[in-house]
Structure 1
């Protein structure tokens, strides 16, 4: 932004000062929310750009990372600051430890960002508040952080949603916006090219940071990106590859899904009114009362659901319509796609995304879990029974969330437990996944790997070996569709098998999905120095 014609008065020296109108407007230039700056605790002086091209350098927010504050924030510093702000009647909406710096430059400074309601705090009082909050940091031996106060645009930030309880009528339609597995994602530059986030993990060498693994080809369009190693180097000035929650088609489909849910409940209410009219004509008063009672209960339930659906649609439209609000992280690492890689011969097709704590944090993270709510309990349980005489190890969780519990070894993938048989009495592993396009599906894993070969410009590439997953049966439909790449595949008890990397087939009932083994992926991450823990908990963030 050019500031060559904007006058900025000289600030006082050696003290926090009231910002000019120009500084208040542009101090946090670069942040998507266009937050208005109020005050800060530091003595830093904002320098107006000078010269023939007086342009502002955009700022960006980055994770705090490893810091002494981590040990005292949640139980000491945070509560004390919150108590002080309440006492001063400051309408604070967010206290956010993070780093703020010039976009792309190394070593951004650490701050507590205090967000307040628009028009509720003057710059004079803001300085007093910022300085006092800074004193709380100093009292706890945190001397390398300052406090910045700005106005917040919304009542709450557009964090991804925590999964709703089963009693909430919106539980299923809000699932794509929640932190359960099957997150629809895309490269921010290609929102029409979509895929699915696989699973979350933490790197034990970098505590407090959450990562998401997916297939490389979801984010690096094969026709638009070179097939070379991508490695983001923090502080190098390198532009990051942003990752969005949902592309254009996915967002439109989810909104239409909520609207369809509203329409469905309205149809039910119309029918209930007709049913009530019939009850009024009944000669038997007991029958009429029974009908009225039943209709009243169903009517209240439908009306409650419509109210909840409309609120969700308003929230989703507010939080996620602006693409800038949909950025959930950036790619940190992705090796080139390789075929027949290493001893295992799998396709090497994966990418690591660092998730921003403004999107997923302790508040809304539940660990790695698939929300099973889109299928009825009895229906899904029947799907997971590979043979009527063979009791399944699958048990529908009380909260709908099937959590990770271990991994399936390659040996078992290729040689399933003989006690688990399919309808032909052959050993089988029943698996499921939740994904961007086909949502929750069940299939059975092949007991031998397929050999795959891709052709480039008519020339054959290397042969790769993949684990296949077939549809549950000939009438169940596809296990996966376009847009499902990257999704995680797990067995009946939550053991991880791998991530979906592709498929093959000529008809809707015989397509096969291919999965890259979790064991291979963990080894590949380790080869790049990543000590992946695929069972992260909220307390790890």
Structure 2
């Protein structure tokens, strides 16, 4: 460990600086200490009384920093993690931070609130700065703030989970097209087999996440039927505090864990919302009829009829047991696993849900990896709004059919994630633009960071297990307004598929750093940065041979090597098709 240099420290930040230094980030975390020496003043926007918002951006191109930081065995990373170990830290990110267009590469260290004094924090910040300089990386400051790591699962109310397993045989997720201009289209989409929809466990119907991606599992015999699986985050379907960290594998005999479409609080709220909207629309229709304005009256009558139709379609399935669409098939132990190709640790926070054929209108073999993104006009407006941040990027056509985008068969490789080829004219550095559609946060645009983030996980049932994992941070392109950086995700988006501009899956959204339920690095209420797990590491985890830590088979997905415990694999119909030997699940 590098010795701390004794310096005459500056005065601690004032209460105003502590509270407003991160003005502009969604959660506005509290500043503990920083190594930069410039004096803090209330930065006002010219001609207004508003403060200039602080923003976060990806690092972009920095060859030496990429070479050292993205290497799990490098002395730079080891020394930085040793230095921050003096604090009860939760996350370490390297991003560009600043305001008024002046952004500087900064090591951002998050610590648990109330656990670190300014004097200790300042010593850590200065040590980290000196470590970078000792590795010939100059101009990188360190900032320490109060922030927690939270999963992006939504938790809205007390559970109303039922003990009965009965459910109407008529419940089926719709495959009908969601037509452009359809009133309350997003609510109809929630009752469909599209990706990006709200899901929850029947026994935890107050906690929700997002259906991320479909994977097709070939039958183990020539006479068997293939299975269709849905991928999401483990923490969406398993509560580690009450159900433990162990691997879950569904047994042929015994109780199964049912997964439902739409969490119960949201389902009840939607029914009540439709009842109110129908009543209000009928009142407006009557008023316009009395005034002789038949066109307006007809439009409100249409809204009332659609709201009533949707409410009546939902009411028979108010019971959570009636909305079961699948069963939890497998989830690994919540632990980190080492990727031997890079020596990095990734948290195994994923789960597979087996879809039930009788709960879907369409045959499972015909269901596609389609994500509902809304009307084409809304999608085009989103791209136009972010035109400045997308300058320099090749944006291919994204055909939207019935409000949906169909994802491609190949995935984004790790090389492309950490070393993107396209250059952003707006930021003057290579970056990877991505999108996601979350069950709660909807459609958002972001830019992937080129340096990995390190998360520290300590909240476990036994209270004594500590894990560190690599994650990939994404910051939004857009701003919500003139004051705050927009959120890339929100609570309830866990499990959302993240894809690039070529419609290739890149990973699933997992967790974020926040304070007071508002997130700056991923999600809980809102976030300006989210972390996601690359599919390359999910695939690797699925196929790892636990006995000797070596892959039995290698399968090419795009240009990336993914490891499966299976005899063969192909890609078909926008799903991943794998002849998996299910013995690895038990």
- Interval containing the TM-score (normalised by the shorter chain): 0.5 to 0.7
CA distance in 2 between counterparts of 1:302 and 1:495 reads 40
- The 3 A distance-change label for structure 1 pair 272 and 378 is farther
> Does residue 439 of structure 2 align to residue 423 of structure 1?
no
Contact residue 512 and residue 520 of structure 2 kept, 8 A: no
CA distance in 1 between counterparts of 2:532 and 2:198 reads 18
Contact residue 384 and residue 430 of structure 1 kept, 8 A: no
Offset of residue 399 of structure 1: 2.9
Q: How does 1:98-117 map to 2 (within 5 A)?
A: none
Cα-to-partner distance string for 1:397-432 (whole Å, 9 max, x where unaligned): 24321111121111101111234x163122222222
Q: Which residue of 1 aligns with 2:174?
A: 161
Offset of residue 170 of structure 1: 4.0
Q: How does 1:247-396 map to 2 (within 5 A)?
A: 247-259=263-275, 261-262=277-278, 265-266=281-282, 269=285, 272=288, 296-318=294-316, 320-339=317-336, 341-343=338-340, 344-360=344-360, 362=362, 366-373=367-374, 376-383=378-385, 385=387, 386-388=389-391, 390=393, 392-395=395-398
Offset of residue 324 of structure 1: 1.6
SS in 2 for 1:174: helix
Could you list the runs of 5+ residues in structure 1 that have no partner in the other structure? 1-152, 278-294
Contact residue 526 and residue 532 of structure 1 kept, 8 A: no
SS in 1 for 2:507: strand
Offset of residue 495 of structure 1: 0.6
Contact residue 386 and residue 478 of structure 2 kept, 8 A: no
Alignment partner for residue 484 of structure 1, among 481, 488, 493?
Answer: 493
Contact residue 173 and residue 258 of structure 1 kept, 8 A: no
SS in 1 for 2:405: strand
Q: Which residue of 2 aligns with 1:30?
A: none
- The 3 A distance-change label for structure 1 pair 377 and 308 is same
- The 3 A distance-change label for structure 1 pair 492 and 391 is closer
Larger Rg: 1
Could you list the runs of 5+ residues in structure 2 that have no partner in the other structure? 1-166, 522-526, 545-563, 578-586
Contact residue 377 and residue 396 of structure 1 kept, 8 A: no
> Which is further off, 359-368 or 400-409?
359-368
Task: Name the TM-score, length of structure 2 as normaliser.
Answer: 0.56
SS in 1 for 2:438: coil
Q: How does 1:18-417 map to 2 (within 5 A)?
A: 157-162=170-175, 163-206=177-220, 207-234=225-252, 237-259=253-275, 261-262=277-278, 265-266=281-282, 269=285, 272=288, 296-318=294-316, 320-339=317-336, 341-343=338-340, 344-360=344-360, 362=362, 366-373=367-374, 376-383=378-385, 385=387, 386-388=389-391, 390=393, 392-395=395-398, 397-405=400-408, 406-417=410-421
Cα-to-partner distance string for 1:218-263 (whole Å, 9 max, x where unaligned): 11102111111111132xx222111122222221243345346546
Cα-to-partner distance string for 1:486-537 (whole Å, 9 max, x where unaligned): 1211122311011111111445566321111111112222337467767546
Cα-to-partner distance string for 1:79-102 (whole Å, 9 max, x where unaligned): xxxxxxxxxxxxxxxxxxxxxxxx
SS in 2 for 1:224: helix
Offset of residue 467 of structure 1: 0.9
Contact residue 211 and residue 496 of structure 2 kept, 8 A: yes
Cα-to-partner distance string for 1:112-134 (whole Å, 9 max, x where unaligned): xxxxxxxxxxxxxxxxxxxxxxx
Contact residue 217 and residue 349 of structure 1 kept, 8 A: yes
What do you get for the CA RMSD once the two structures are aligned? 3.1
Normalized per residue, which structure has more strand?
Answer: 2
Q: Which residue of 1 aligns with 2:508?
A: 499
CA distance in 2 between counterparts of 1:534 and 1:221 reads 33
| Structure with greater contact order relative to length (CA < 8 Å, sep ≥ 6) | 2
Cα-to-partner distance string for 1:285-327 (whole Å, 9 max, x where unaligned): xxxxxxxxxx544443432232122111101112x21222111
CA distance in 2 between counterparts of 1:366 and 1:190 reads 27
- The 3 A distance-change label for structure 1 pair 313 and 363 is farther
The number of aligned residues is: 364
Contact residue 331 and residue 354 of structure 1 kept, 8 A: yes
Contact residue 470 and residue 513 of structure 1 kept, 8 A: yes
Task: Name the TM-score, length of structure 1 as normaliser.
Answer: 0.61
CA distance in 2 between counterparts of 1:250 and 1:161 reads 19
Offset of residue 464 of structure 1: 0.6
Q: Which residue of 2 aligns with 1:74?
A: none
- The 3 A distance-change label for structure 1 pair 265 and 432 is farther
Offset of residue 179 of structure 1: 0.9
